[in-house]
Structure 1
């Protein structure tokens, strides 16, 4: 039996300070607690997706005693880990399937005009990357954080495979 959906805030666009070229989305906010000698120490962990909608996307996890600081840390870490997503006509060049832990994600290119057919966590990552037409399926875990990381890994592998294809073309010349 599936777990009931969380009532936590998720996938909210976060517009912090000033105008930025990056769109920032909050995927998950977790309240965590640590038992100490003096009582409980409360903190927050926030999973963020950062993208410019022009082919660059990053994922960052921020941890801090308050939510705003955790969001800022998540954005900063996401910007540090930006990757370039190869796109052909606003979609990905070829299908890719990635299993990362219990999460498994399938991303397939789609014809122009299809739109983004993807579940919540995958949708946030591919929209932030600027992909306009894609079909996806979450096959494994329903954990949002795991699915975000699996989608990010799938987009990273697209990049790696593209460089492999280019190297193979250069070798045959």
Structure 2
């Protein structure tokens, strides 16, 4: 399934349903176009928005001035908001995603661990409200691809309730098996 299809199928959220969104600029890039009279400069921005309570979006904006590119990126990110299932302060299970040349691996962490991740993944995780997470990025470290891969990874998370419903078993049985597995270690 394509990346676009996965994000379309993800738990999309309207910006009106979400409370106060915080914005975080991940990257501002100046690009030049060489014309007869010299160089023309434009700017592209990557912005992450989130409410810190399980809603996050990533947007890219391009314009002739930095503030305009940031504004466009924020509007784009608000259109792409998704809901992330959180398990207390972390994610419910491991997830590994490949987006173009970037591979992102995310694992839940114990309370108090903090967000151990690179800048792009950290921005997405903190905007979503994740407080404890271990993440590793392999391959391309381009902030555009890293933030998109992180958003894709979070969109593939399933809450224990969703897994139990899909398997047609009670949630308690799922949780008991998980606890038993963690006690074996």
TM-score by length of 2: 0.75
Q: Which has the higher contact order (CA 8 A, sep 6+)?
A: 2
Give the length in aligned residue pairs. 151
- 2:86/2:159 contact within 8 Å kept: no
- Structure 1 Cα separation of the partners of residues 164 and 73 of structure 2: 33
- Structure 2 Cα separation of the partners of residues 160 and 110 of structure 1: 16
Q: Unmatched 5+ residue regions in structure 1?
A: 1-19
Displacement of 1:34: 2.2
- The CA deviation string for residues 118-163 of structure 1, in whole angstroms up to 9 with x for no partner, is 1111111100000011111112222222111111110011159975
- Structure 2 Cα separation of the partners of residues 102 and 94 of structure 1: 23
- Structure 1 Cα separation of the partners of residues 44 and 74 of structure 2: 12
Are residues 163 and 40 of structure 1, via their aligned partners in 2, closer, same or farther at CA, if it must alter by over 3 Å? Answer: farther
- The farther-off stretch of 134-143 and 92-101 is 134-143
Displacement of 1:35: 3.3
TM-score by length of 1: 0.80
Match of 2:119 in 1: 120
RMSD across aligned C-alpha pairs, in angstroms?
2.1
1:101-116 matches, within 5 Å, as 101-116=100-115
Match of 2:22 in 1: 23
- The CA deviation string for residues 50-82 of structure 1, in whole angstroms up to 9 with x for no partner, is 011000000000111100010000001101100
Q: Unmatched 5+ residue regions in structure 2?
A: 1-18, 170-185
Match of 1:15 in 2: none
Corresponding residue SS for 1:139: strand
